[in-house]
A and B are shown apart, each in its own frame.
Chain A
């Protein structure tokens, strides 16, 4: 069970190898297979997460949530998606047509690109990049521009306000996120995600770096534009922010990107702080990739729990908290980590 996916990948590789084509072609096919697998994983998970979100919301608000379509309402999301697909895509008359249509197409690209380096289990990263963590931070930062394109191209004041808020918020919270991750990188001395997981064999970094984990989690919630940091789409203030003018599948793609980002931040939290595929208490009877998924889903549940129990913060509170609390705290964390590493080194640990 542990190596089921690695074995599948190996047998596909052998199967193509029989054809006797150049190795470059084989590599291309393997990458295509992996990308398709990851894409399928993301889409199926997003489908499930929408349902899970509504069920969790229902539970917290003492009601049932979707329970009519299919057994226990399981087909609700599929029905919603087919409705969205059949809807007309309306382009506002004053909109920048090309950019307006380009934004929902591009919005899904950065998170998908980052999933290439996520270690789903032992030896299960599609690309085992040496600068994995840094690649995640760099590519994820591209989402900001695309959100802003959507907000600007709609030619709607609410969209533009939402777009500006996205930019301000994501830039402000990217900084503490990077600085928090730096604490982990300082301990391991590597940016490779698989190596970071292996370094947690004895101690998960949530115990070595509790402050960094907290900062990472808060900044992660803000990066995904979710409650309590969902100012960018605050319904009571600016309709739906950058997505105001989008209808049908364009809107659905923004939704999909949001859930992909939530998954991504959860995967990163599990990799950097929760020991990735490593089994706690020596419970190796459950395979590593399943442990990874369990940890990711615990993180996702935390996201949903926050969303349905906390009110939205104000813009000035958001900025003040980011710059006056999280950034100094993460800098202090780096300083203390550096001193501790040196001291423990001198003590001969």
Chain B
């Protein structure tokens, strides 16, 4: 019973994610695109929840749905020109793009179907306290990638401050 429910929720979530991701691309209005992107992120958080990764799901909601989308909104609103209802433009290179994408997709589908490898699944139970172990791993085995990411963010921060700082105009000259 619980298993069947899990399968049903997985399919519903997948459908929501794929449909909203498609709408991100198709929407003519870039604001609608962003809002569909929020739905995509929330659906992904749902998948994490089904995998018992509570912390990861919350991070997904906080960082992606809550913060990244808002940043995109800011970018769009502060830099937009003209009519926002036709802000998400299409180009006419469909003839080139469609066969290429179709080829890649069908190749991927064929390889998936032909593959006989089984992905190893961990049969261990999910620990109750995942946050503590994530923190411990981040500051022990993965401390170098973690610090590198921090430095990268710092560089981005300084760059943003530099770009957005006030331009001083001197009227005396």
With A24-B1, A24-B2, A131-B131 known as contacts, the answer to whether A167 contacts B58 (CB < 8 A) is no
Chain A residues closer than 8 Å to B55, beta-carbon distance: 131, 134
CA distance A141 to B71 in the complex (A): 13
Interface string of A154-174 (1 = CB under 8 A from B): 000000100010010001000
CA distance A142 to B62 in the complex (A): 8
Q: Contact at A137–B62, with CB atoms within 8 Å?
A: yes
CA distance A99 to B84 in the complex (A): 15
Interface string of B37-67 (1 = CB under 8 A from A): 0100000000000000011001101100111
CA distance A284 to B131 in the complex (A): 34
Q: Contact at B61–A141, with CB atoms within 8 Å?
A: yes
Q: Contact at B61–A167, with CB atoms within 8 Å?
A: no
With A24-B2, A141-B66, A144-B70 known as contacts, the answer to whether A149 contacts B35 (CB < 8 A) is yes
Does residue B164 face the partner (Cβ distance < 8 Å to A)? no
Does residue B129 face the partner (Cβ distance < 8 Å to A)? yes
Query: Whose C-beta in chain A lies nearest to the C-beta of B34?
Result: A145
Does residue A20 face the partner (Cβ distance < 8 Å to B)? no
With A24-B1, A144-B70 known as contacts, the answer to whether A129 contacts B62 (CB < 8 A) is no
Q: Contact at A167–B74, with CB atoms within 8 Å?
A: yes
Chain B residues closer than 8 Å to A167, beta-carbon distance: 70, 73-74
Does residue A177 face the partner (Cβ distance < 8 Å to B)? no
Instruction: Kindly provide the distance from the CB of B46 to the nearest chain A CB, expressed in whole angstroms.
Output: 13
Chain B residues closer than 8 Å to A22, beta-carbon distance: 1
Query: Whose C-beta in chain A lies nearest to the C-beta of B74?
Result: A167
Chain B residues closer than 8 Å to A139, beta-carbon distance: 61
Does residue A135 face the partner (Cβ distance < 8 Å to B)? yes
CA distance A141 to B65 in the complex (A): 9
Does residue A116 face the partner (Cβ distance < 8 Å to B)? no
CA distance A190 to B65 in the complex (A): 25
Q: Contact at B62–A24, with CB atoms within 8 Å?
A: no
Instruction: Kindly provide the distance from the CB of B31 to the nearest chain A CB, expressed in whole angstroms.
Output: 6
With A22-B1, A131-B131 known as contacts, the answer to whether A138 contacts B66 (CB < 8 A) is yes
Instruction: Tally B residues with Cβ within 8 Å of A.
Output: 25
Does residue B128 face the partner (Cβ distance < 8 Å to A)? yes
CA distance A171 to B74 in the complex (A): 11
Instruction: Kindly provide the distance from the CB of A186 to the nearest chain B CB, expressed in whole angstroms.
Output: 11
Does residue B77 face the partner (Cβ distance < 8 Å to A)? yes
Q: Contact at B66–A144, with CB atoms within 8 Å?
A: yes
Does residue A130 face the partner (Cβ distance < 8 Å to B)? yes
Q: Contact at B54–A129, with CB atoms within 8 Å?
A: yes
Q: Contact at B54–A142, with CB atoms within 8 Å?
A: no
Q: Contact at B58–A134, with CB atoms within 8 Å?
A: yes
CA distance A164 to B75 in the complex (A): 11
CA distance A22 to B35 in the complex (A): 38
CA distance A131 to B66 in the complex (A): 17
CA distance A24 to B1 in the complex (A): 8
Instruction: Kindly provide the distance from the CB of B90 to the nearest chain A CB, expressed in whole angstroms.
Output: 20
Does residue A152 face the partner (Cβ distance < 8 Å to B)? yes
Does residue B89 face the partner (Cβ distance < 8 Å to A)? no
Q: Contact at A142–B1, with CB atoms within 8 Å?
A: no
Q: Contact at B61–A24, with CB atoms within 8 Å?
A: no
CA distance A142 to B57 in the complex (A): 14
Interface string of B1-35 (1 = CB under 8 A from A): 11001000000000000000000000000011001
- Other than the given A96-B31, A139-B61, A164-B77, 18 more pairs (CB < 8 A) read A130-B54, A130-B128, A130-B129, A131-B55, A134-B55, A134-B131, A137-B62, A138-B66, A141-B67, A142-B61, A142-B66, A144-B70, A145-B70, A145-B73, A149-B35, A167-B73, A167-B74, A171-B67
Binding site for B on A (CB under 8 A): 22, 24, 96, 99, 129-131, 134-135, 137-139, 141-142, 144-145, 148-149, 152, 160, 164, 167, 171, 189-191
Q: Which 8 A/B pairs are nearest by Cβ-Cβ distance?
A: A141-B66, A138-B62, A138-B58, A138-B61, A134-B58, A131-B54, A135-B58, A141-B62
21 example contacts (A-B, Cβ-Cβ < 8 A) are as follows A24-B1, A24-B5, A99-B32, A129-B54, A130-B54, A131-B58, A134-B55, A135-B54, A137-B62, A138-B66, A139-B61, A141-B61, A141-B67, A142-B65, A145-B70, A145-B73, A148-B70, A152-B31, A152-B77, A171-B67, A171-B70
